Structure 1
Amino acid sequence: MPAAAAAAAPLQNDTIMYTHGANKAAPVANNRTPVLTHRMKHDKSILTLAVSSQYIFAGTQGGEILVYSLDTYERRRVIQAHKGSVLGLCLSQDQELLFSSAADPIVNVWCTSAFRHLYALWSPYDIGDIFCVAYSSFHRTVYLGAQNTSIQWYDLKQKDTRPRPAVASHPSERKNKFFDSLGPGGAQTPKPIGADSRPRDAVGGQELQIDGQDIRQFAHYGYVHCMLLGRGILPEAPAEEVLVSGGGDGRILLWRIDPTRGGDISSLHTLEDGREEGESILSLVREGSFLYSGRFDGEVNVWDLETRQLVRSLKASTGDVHTLTLGAGVLYAGGTSGEVQKFNEHYETITSFKAHDGLILASAFTKYDDKPILVTGGNDNTIVIWEVKDCAGPDAVIRKSSNDLMVESLTQFVSFCTVSSLPKYRADCRRGASYLRSVFQNFGAVTEMINTSEPYNPIVFAKFRGNPATAASRKKILFYGHYDVIPAENEHGKWKHNPFALTGEGGYLYGRGVSDNKGPIMAAIYAAHELANEQSLGSDIIFLIEGEEESGSRGFENAVRAKKDLIGDVDWILLANSYWLDDHVPCLTYGLRGVIHATVQVESKHPDLHSGVDGSALLDEPLKDLVMLLSKLTGRHGKVQIPGFYDPILPLTEDEKDLYTEITKTLLRGNPDLGDPEELAQSLMRRWREASLTIHRFQTSGPENSTIIPRLAKAALSIRLVPNQEASAVANTLINFLKSEFDQLDSKNKLKVTIDHQAEPWLGDFNNEIFQTLERAIMSVWGPTLGQERREGVAAIKSPDYFAPLSRAANSPSSTTATKNKPTPTTSNTLANSSDSRPSTSDASSPTTTTTDLDTATNAFAKPLYIREGGSIPSIRFLEKEFNAPAAHLPCGQASDSAHLDNERLRLVNLYNSKKIFKEVFRELPKK
């Protein structure tokens, strides 16, 4: 079996599929109920939808048009389009124009590539809300259905020959008969500030006014709720385009279009069901010679357009049928109950399912990458994406894209509670490791489970062999990652979703471990597989995925040493286990701090005592001794007092200084609230290239009350090391220093210092081949967008003395700084929630969740930022030493990913692009 077919076998199944949000990847029938694949949240009701080959357009109650990518479901733009609710959306046949109607009452026309406002057209008099809009690409004529029962139109072919409308004719300039009438004494109510202004994006373009003769008054005896245009409606003239309208009078009207009279319409036929008083036609949809209409109380009527007769009346459980959608012969009805009901071509109910917590007001069907998709929107402020497999046809085989398969694999991977720090999840860790190995095996990789010492979790080894034609010159790239995660017990319900059920929302995937580190691992696996499948893999890709990284990589070093013959030679090491500085600019990490975790314990010979009975100045209290001892470790502003502690630290070089110039300029350009560039750089340096000491917690013996003198007191502390400091040397110096200081206390108590864990710092060469290959790949995938303005800005701050104080601070950590000059720490949370991030409509209730429209992000970049990290990864320096190979670190996620926190997430576009970057690196690195 070919590798691709073998890989697909366990991921696609004729009877079940795995869905985001299903606990433990629960099976769901794939031919009945659609699978919820993603959800986008807003802060206002979704009233109407239109879907192109690239985008989902959603009209809201607030007058916006939301634009989402069909690829990643990320919000691309929020168009401030109307001053009233957007009630209708319509795409031109070539999808280059988007028409929006609203309660303004104005019809706006937009360019769908640049989201630019092209035209605004309106009626010469007040017509109330414009409920629907339709466009004839053949006649280039816009039709609108209004609250005042009229249908009106405008021939865009005449837009340059008709006279320009007067400014006073614009609906925003007109006086309202009620609100603008004169009050007592002839006074007029003043208009609120901004009442006459137009929406931000509905400016520019050409203004067009409908001619008085292009109006069909009383087209219906009720509101004109819905319209559609199409050919094949008239049996006697199948090539003729016909307008169909449905109204509040319960009638459906067919209209002939006369292109010789600017798109004038004349009545052809009326579809009526014989009722004396018809109920409103709320929705219309057509397929071939059959027309479907939705009405109150779940009534769906089926009309034969050839005979113009009502052939069937269906009863749906949806309540009032606000929306109808057709997809490959399947009819979807949605309404006030929040349910969608599916009917087959025989008008039999297939199934119904709850789609929204409120009214369903809009729906649309499309195929993206041959994948059938139903989109629904409602007054619960959400847009939901559903995969509808039965719409692919009874005999069709859905060929899922590599990205779809990758997300399905990641969904299953995340479902395993691989928490290495809690013994109760030991079996889950093993199952997660086994699943990961099966993914490698299905892709044709050579695999082995490398056992660590009990009770630690195994290492998953896998190897993709490169193209045999390149055997003599093949390089070996080692990809390191970890499948274990930190706990997510969610006792307080802070997670929006089940932490171990991958859930798509707002262009992100939510779940424990999705960013750290399961998503990046899966991206790298699929990159290697795709290259192998294309016979373009010029190197051997070796994977070492451990299960103890979150617990200090217990057992990793010994296990790797024992299996060096299996692993073989290594030329390059690559990992992806950190994040960008903000949410916009890709980064490369070239340095990590090391760490020493230690426990300092002071214990007396006497038992726990009562402070009132036994307390005296003569008694050596363990907790007092411990506090005095720990006070000797740091001085003013956190300066570590251990002798020789700072001596090995490398000075700041000119090359590295330039990196900080680029970092501060990029961050401040988009986030001016971050403040002074020098303070920002100093704050980053203190996090990345300066060592630090932290006291984490105290613990005492005895009952927890205010009168006890504890027999034992201990504290947990950590030291973050920087490159050139050796962990073992610093640990020994720490122990000796504490013993020396304790001796000076002349205490009868006993001191015990334990080194619980240590990891070496790491510093990569950002000028070497692997970093440069990564840089080119990032620029190729994310795209360089540097403008002249930013180039000039970077040059402007590169003055000779710009970093003079910075260099002194970086190279002389022992120097004291006046409190007033001490920079405010810039934390990862500050950068993730900086001023460039706008409130997210994906989670309007969470002020800490932020995002930015993709095309309006202000942090343009020419190349990725080279950064260091304050955290530690124990294995990276060990692997470099053991295999004598340089390492590089590719951050895949954004600063707001919330790794190790509640609601951990990874943006879909970051996952997809990470796979592309790995693919380019795996292909290009051996060529150099």
Structure 2
Amino acid sequence: MSSSDPALLVLTDSQDIDEQHGARVEVANGLASPSLHSNGDNRYKPSLFHRMRHDKSVLCMAVSKDRIYAGAHRGEILVYRLDTFEREAVLVGHSSSVLGLALSSDYTLLFSSSGDRTVNVWDTSTLTLLYSIYSTYDTGDVFCVTYSADLQVVYLGAQNTSIQWYDLKEKESRPRPKPSAHPSFRQDRFFDSSGPGGVRTPRQCSSERPRDTKGSLSLEIDKHYIRQYAHFGYVYCMLLAAGSIFGYRGEEVLISGGGDGAIKLWRLDADNSGALRSLGQLDDGREEGHSVLTIALDGMFLYSGRLGGEINVWDLETRQLVRNLKTTIGDVLTLTIGGGYLFSAGMDGVVEKFNSQYEPVAHFKSHAGLVLSSAFTIHKGKAMYVTGGNDSTVSVWDVSDCHRTQATGLRTTNEQLFDSLRAFVSYRTVSSDARYKGDCRRGASWLRALFRNFGAATHMLNADDGYNPIILAKFRGNAATAAQRKKILFYGHYDVIAAENEKGKWLMDPFSLEGIDGHLYGRGVSDNKGPIMAAIYAVAELVSEKALEADIVFLIEGEEECGSRGFSKTIQDNKSLVGDIDWILLANSYWLDDHVPCLTYGLRGVIHASVQIESNHPDLHSGVDGSSRLDEPLKDLVLLLSKLTGEKGSVLIPGFYDPIMAVTRDERALYDEITKVLLERNPDLGDSEELADSLMRRWRDPSLTFHGFKTSGPNNSTIIPHLARSALSLRLVPNQESHVIVKSLIEYLHKEFSKLETKNTLTITIDHQAEPWLGDVHNAIFKTLEAAIMEVWGPIYGRRRSSLVTRPAAPSSLTSPPSRPVTSTGPTTSNTLAHGSVTPPDSPVILSPTGTSAQAPMRARKPLYIREGGSIPTIRFLEKEFGAPAAHLPIGQASDSAHLDNERLRLLNLYKGRDIFKKVFRDLPRK
């Protein structure tokens, strides 16, 4: 039950200046979200921007310049960042539900009231509890709280019908209350009363206080600072208004609403520690009315929400009832004013929106249960409406469809980056399925149009055999002649792995980007559409700032998930169009865990082959035709494949290991740093030597794998097939040339096959091959990337220490939150160390902007230099073709689930990735 901030836009104006942000806002036509359950004029329907999940109801809310504070059932205050929507902290200072939140006018103090009969005062810069305020009387639940910064007085509205206050200027002069005076030690007149026969069950009073109350100062309200029976009912809501409205210039007036249906006005006595002096009440002519549950102030107009769906509009200058609105949402539990509109919400999770003429213009579903709290804010020019409900979620709605900031120049804000990525993900660019051929073309055309909008010269390079086209886009630098400008090539791919949600494994439609808990969910958002958008917007910002010195060339293909079919030939055919290249950059992988940025400097190559043995006879019956003298293709195939590997999986192809480089001292140092960092956070990973050896086996050792057998004939146990085939792959490491290994493999298999002296025939098919890649970690592009990562991400934290919050795992649905916050865990080695976070279980932390522990010691540290076991066919080809060194920047976290259900990318990583690209594109040409 939250009232809105009084310092918001005036409802009666269709255009306004937001003083806080200095931005001009205007009414504009918007588009409704396709998933919105709503009616009314499409221009006024908001779209869901992000949703944060919890495991308890969200009861109240306050919004500052950069944070959302949400009070929850059972005493928690959730703190979210407005730029990335990550949960920054969970504050536990109450032993019962948080019922009211308020911020000081300068946002330095947060006030929380609770069912535990206390009001807490928090320092928002450190997120620590300063004071805990309580009354000498039994107040019952404290429903609301507000603060006069001028008087430094805290006001609270209570269940026992009183309004009480505490003058913080007196906190040092007043005597300290005894610990036993705290409400948690008092007897409750109802729950601790005598039972039948006069027997009372002894109450177990625990000395344990809520976690974050340690070190705070307890303050007791003097009995003289209490206005008993301020209402003849619970005091549900309060706010402060400028006294000039009532003729008291330079003063503040407290407005309160209660369960008696009354709205009362109170003058604050500055000479008497803020004591209340009655100014009467607003009279609508009724002897009594429905309870006033929420109030909101907009200039001289006051809006009150009541039981039964009634909203009253009051003119405070004349104290007259101007309008009586009847909503369709049932009981009005929360009112918010912003952007020239009134938002009312309550029962059934529905929000109703009114314009300045008090006409309902939108009606939409915000929560699966009750909407209990709401707020409006403009963050970096983006208007947002925030709601909290008893479905344990906080929803952030984009209301810029009604009020849009007039921006100058290119629209390269975080919000525009998000909007572009949402549009990009909506194209089902699945290259492996012919049904989506049209979607791939439409996605490529959309991407080309985006490049054009930002000023790039573009070409659509069509590949042979009907493969998806390659987008070539060039941004020209500022230097006068092409010869003076360096050229950086960015490689990426717009095609994605197939995704379907028929079994409900995804949280939402895989091709409808949705923000949840600080992450963006959708197929391709991490692999590779998010990094592509980050790179494009980095260049666009440099162009708009006239700070782009190099030519940036984008090559975005549509067949990477199918082995980059047709890529090499198409680039060779159009090499002159691409031009000379000085450096190559790509971003198509992930960190080792969820916390430490990485740079990838090595990939294994791959050869996919099929080995087939066939006889000249048809399929036979083993009982009729079986003989020890019969040359059976499957038997020959098994004997032949057994010659490829030896003890412990060693590959027996002659000369296979000869080119492999030994581990150097410098390379070993990189592995030592990796294991040190991983073991700091995850001591359960074991011995550092074993961990390093495990990573080396996956990253720098070659391997041979058999993937299965296929035979002709019916699938039963009596058939002797006339044909047998097996698929195998070889993973190669740097210095192993794929064409050399292919030649050795074919020669070796034919040689061993001849030894079988069989009448069958052998066929070997090379289905795909890609070269391994090893970058030079000492060259200019890696050093520029390293410097950019350290600047953008800042200090990287040491080992986690116990503090304030546990990172939640993802529940199975938005309406089914986890039973408690838990820490996500995952495998213990390799890049997927990489399909799940390696954060230790049950490790509470307060999150820094990088998602690491703010309590751990900070130290500047370089990103981890890592290799990967997988392959990207194009890297080595591009290096050879253009004679330019390549570098690989992982943007995603280990838990991004690329290629899996619920693929995601952290919003913070998307924005930070854009910032890193911007610094690299700006600084690398100066090297």
User: When the two structures are superposed, what TM-score results if normalisation uses the length of structure 2?
Assistant: 0.89
- Contact kept? 1:331, 1:343, Cα under 8 Å: yes
Match of 1:150? 162
Q: Given the alignment, which residue of 128, 134, 137 partners 1:125? A: 137
Give, in whole Å, the separation in 1 of the partners of 2:245 and 2:725. 88
Per the TM alignment, residue 212 of structure 1 is displaced from its structure 2 partner at its CA by 1.2
Secondary structure of the residue that 1:454 maps to in structure 2? helix
Match of 1:622? 633
Q: Given the alignment, which residue of 498, 509, 515 partners 2:509? A: 498
> Is 1:352 aligned to 2:363, yes or no?
yes
Secondary structure of the residue that 2:362 maps to in structure 1? strand
Match of 1:826? 829
Match of 1:561? 572
Per the TM alignment, residue 445 of structure 1 is displaced from its structure 2 partner at its CA by 1.1
Q: Structure 1 pair 717/252, CA: closer, same or farther in 2 (3 Å)?
A: same
Match of 1:449? 460
Per the TM alignment, residue 178 of structure 1 is displaced from its structure 2 partner at its CA by 5.1
Give, in whole Å, the separation in 1 of the partners of 2:198 and 2:330. 48
- Contact kept? 1:589, 1:890, Cα under 8 Å: yes
Secondary structure of the residue that 2:677 maps to in structure 1? helix
Q: Given the alignment, which residue of 565, 579, 587 partners 2:598? A: 587
- Contact kept? 1:461, 1:542, Cα under 8 Å: yes
Give, in whole Å, the separation in 1 of the partners of 2:733 and 2:172. 69
Per the TM alignment, residue 635 of structure 1 is displaced from its structure 2 partner at its CA by 2.9
Q: Structure 1 pair 267/752, CA: closer, same or farther in 2 (3 Å)?
A: same
Q: Counterparts of 1:511-590 in structure 2 under 5 Å?
A: 511-590=522-601
Give, in whole Å, the separation in 2 of the partners of 1:480 and 1:834. 27
- One-letter amino acid of the counterpart of residue 693, structure 1: L
- One-letter amino acid of the counterpart of residue 870, structure 1: G
Per the TM alignment, residue 190 of structure 1 is displaced from its structure 2 partner at its CA by 6.8
- One-letter amino acid of the counterpart of residue 525, structure 2: V
Deviates more, 1:179-188 or 1:677-686: 179-188
Secondary structure of the residue that 2:923 maps to in structure 1? helix
Q: Given the alignment, which residue of 728, 733, 736 partners 1:722? A: 733
Question: Which 5+ residue runs of structure 1 have no aligned equivalent?
Answer: 1-11, 791-823, 842-850
- One-letter amino acid of the counterpart of residue 570, structure 1: I
Q: Counterparts of 1:35-434 in structure 2 under 5 Å?
A: 35-177=47-189, 179-180=191-192, 195-232=206-243, 234-389=245-400, 392=403, 402-434=413-445
- Contact kept? 1:111, 1:117, Cα under 8 Å: yes
Q: Counterparts of 1:18-29 in structure 2 under 5 Å?
A: none
- Contact kept? 2:800, 2:853, Cα under 8 Å: no
Per the TM alignment, residue 650 of structure 1 is displaced from its structure 2 partner at its CA by 0.8
| Deviation string, structure 1 residues 182-238 (Cα, Å, up to 9, x no partner) | 78999975767x943122222212211111111111111111111111114643224
Give, in whole Å, the separation in 2 of the partners of 1:602 and 1:273. 94
Q: Counterparts of 1:796-815 in structure 2 under 5 Å?
A: none
Per the TM alignment, residue 744 of structure 1 is displaced from its structure 2 partner at its CA by 3.4
Give, in whole Å, the separation in 2 of the partners of 1:396 and 1:27. 30
- Contact kept? 1:77, 1:853, Cα under 8 Å: no
> Is 1:781 aligned to 2:792, yes or no?
yes
Q: Counterparts of 1:7-22 in structure 2 under 5 Å?
A: 15-17=29-31
Q: Structure 1 pair 301/331, CA: closer, same or farther in 2 (3 Å)?
A: same
> Is 1:662 aligned to 2:677, yes or no?
no
Match of 1:461? 472
Per the TM alignment, residue 617 of structure 1 is displaced from its structure 2 partner at its CA by 3.8
Deviates more, 1:324-333 or 1:487-496: 487-496
| Deviation string, structure 1 residues 640-684 (Cα, Å, up to 9, x no partner) | 222222221111111111111111111111122222211111111
Give, in whole Å, the separation in 2 of the partners of 1:291 and 1:399. 40
- Contact kept? 2:797, 2:856, Cα under 8 Å: no
Give, in whole Å, the separation in 2 of the partners of 1:330 and 1:203. 42
Per the TM alignment, residue 487 of structure 1 is displaced from its structure 2 partner at its CA by 1.0
Secondary structure of the residue that 2:613 maps to in structure 1? strand
- Contact kept? 1:370, 1:398, Cα under 8 Å: no
Deviates more, 1:566-575 or 1:14-23: 14-23
Question: Which 5+ residue runs of structure 2 have no aligned equivalent?
Answer: 1-25, 802-826, 845-849
Give, in whole Å, the separation in 1 of the partners of 2:503 and 2:401. 40
Count of matched residue positions in the alignment of Structure 1 and Structure 2: 872
Secondary structure of the residue that 1:31 maps to in structure 2? helix
- One-letter amino acid of the counterpart of residue 692, structure 2: A
Deviates more, 1:262-271 or 1:770-779: 262-271
Secondary structure of the residue that 2:465 maps to in structure 1? coil
Q: Structure 1 pair 394/409, CA: closer, same or farther in 2 (3 Å)?
A: closer
Q: Structure 1 pair 563/391, CA: closer, same or farther in 2 (3 Å)?
A: closer
Give, in whole Å, the separation in 2 of the partners of 1:267 and 1:529. 59
Per the TM alignment, residue 538 of structure 1 is displaced from its structure 2 partner at its CA by 1.1
Match of 2:777? 766
Q: Given the alignment, which residue of 597, 604, 619 partners 2:615? A: 604
- Contact kept? 1:316, 1:341, Cα under 8 Å: yes
Q: Structure 1 pair 176/628, CA: closer, same or farther in 2 (3 Å)?
A: farther
Give, in whole Å, the separation in 2 of the partners of 1:881 and 1:746. 43
- One-letter amino acid of the counterpart of residue 48, structure 1: C
| Deviation string, structure 1 residues 546-588 (Cα, Å, up to 9, x no partner) | 1111111111111111111111111111111111111111110
Give, in whole Å, the separation in 1 of the partners of 2:903 and 2:546. 36
- Contact kept? 2:797, 2:858, Cα under 8 Å: no
Per the TM alignment, residue 622 of structure 1 is displaced from its structure 2 partner at its CA by 2.9
Give, in whole Å, the separation in 2 of the partners of 1:789 and 1:429. 44
Give, in whole Å, the separation in 2 of the partners of 1:464 and 1:432. 20
Secondary structure of the residue that 1:337 maps to in structure 2? helix
Give, in whole Å, the separation in 1 of the partners of 2:842 and 2:467. 43
Q: Structure 1 pair 468/835, CA: closer, same or farther in 2 (3 Å)?
A: closer
Deviates more, 1:373-382 or 1:617-626: 617-626
- One-letter amino acid of the counterpart of residue 251, structure 1: A
Give, in whole Å, the separation in 2 of the partners of 1:733 and 1:165. 86
- One-letter amino acid of the counterpart of residue 231, structure 1: A
Match of 2:6? none
- Contact kept? 1:371, 1:400, Cα under 8 Å: no
Per the TM alignment, residue 81 of structure 1 is displaced from its structure 2 partner at its CA by 2.6
Q: Structure 1 pair 170/635, CA: closer, same or farther in 2 (3 Å)?
A: farther
Q: Given the alignment, which residue of 700, 711, 714 partners 2:722? A: 711
- Contact kept? 2:40, 2:361, Cα under 8 Å: no
Q: Counterparts of 1:746-761 in structure 2 under 5 Å?
A: 746-761=757-772
Secondary structure of the residue that 2:308 maps to in structure 1? helix
Give, in whole Å, the separation in 1 of the partners of 2:502 and 2:718. 33
Give, in whole Å, the separation in 2 of the partners of 1:18 and 1:543. 33
Q: Structure 1 pair 521/737, CA: closer, same or farther in 2 (3 Å)?
A: same
- One-letter amino acid of the counterpart of residue 877, structure 2: F
Match of 1:737? 748
Q: Structure 1 pair 235/203, CA: closer, same or farther in 2 (3 Å)?
A: same
Q: Given the alignment, which residue of 676, 682, 687 partners 1:676? A: 687
- One-letter amino acid of the counterpart of residue 675, structure 2: T
Deviates more, 1:258-267 or 1:182-191: 182-191
Secondary structure of the residue that 1:282 maps to in structure 2? strand
- One-letter amino acid of the counterpart of residue 199, structure 1: P
- Contact kept? 2:371, 2:387, Cα under 8 Å: yes
> Is 1:877 aligned to 2:857, yes or no?
no
- Considering only aligned residues, what root-mean-square deviation do their CA atoms show, in Å? 2.9
- One-letter amino acid of the counterpart of residue 909, structure 1: L
Deviates more, 1:173-182 or 1:851-860: 851-860
| Deviation string, structure 1 residues 49-105 (Cα, Å, up to 9, x no partner) | 100000011111132111111111111111123211111000000000000111112
Secondary structure of the residue that 2:866 maps to in structure 1? strand
Q: Given the alignment, which residue of 636, 649, 655 partners 2:660? A: 649
